[in-house]
Amino acid sequence: MRMRFPFVSRLRAQSRRLLGRFRKEASGATAVEFALVSVPFLGLLFAIFETAFVFFVSEAVESAVSEAARQVMTGQTQTANITTEANFRTQVICPTSGRQLLPSFIDCTKIRIDARGAADFASIDLSRPATYKFCLGAPGDITVVRIFYPLPVYFTLLGMTSSGAMTTITTGTEMSGSTRVRMLTGTSVFRTEPYSGWTGYVAGC
């Protein structure tokens, strides 16, 4: 003989009524849907903004190295006795007076410059330099001028999806501390004109 417990029946009935009301209630559906959609939407939006910013800064670096290379190609840099990376940065790319080749939001103290001259194209090495050199060649030499700028990665998802272009800088003049950056590079390869006034290779080249 089955025993009946009234409170169990009432509990089941109340549970069915509550579940029914929960299924029919739609006043909070919009808030729940927004909470579910907003996180990936905002993440995608920030990734788009940062990707666009990376392309913009890359174009600025490429434009700067192209303009700076013209002064090397015509011998203006060599005859002005600019023989170090620091002098090239402060006098050509980011001069204290006159027009700077890089936008104001780029920190010129963090850019690195690698410039090397070679007698022919076969002697040119375009791999990432382990050490930066500023060795401009003689008139008529093949010259490679490169600018490296470590752009901080603010949105980590961008770094996760393109890790091949990322690097971590822990020490040095480019960044202080351990920072995840995208190393942007501007390159110009050309043959210098047969200008006059070249005084020879600097020490260390």
User: What digits encode the pLDDT tens for the residues 66-107?
Assistant: 999 999 999 999 888 888 999 999 999 999 888 889 998 899
**Contact in structure between 184 and 56 (CB atoms under 8 Å):** no
pLDDT value of residue 179: 64
The pLDDT score that the predictor gives to residue 21 is 64
Exposure b/e, 47-77, CB count within 10 A at least 16 = b:
eeebeeebeebbebbbebbbebbebbbebeb
Summary mean pLDDT of the chain: 79
- What is the arithmetic mean of pLDDT over 113-134? 86
136 burial type by CB count under 10 A (0-12 exposed, 13-18 middle, 19+ buried): buried
Q: Is residue 66 within a helix (H) or strand (E), and if so which, with residue range?
A: helix 29-73
Model confidence at 169, pLDDT cuts 50, 70, 90, reads: very low
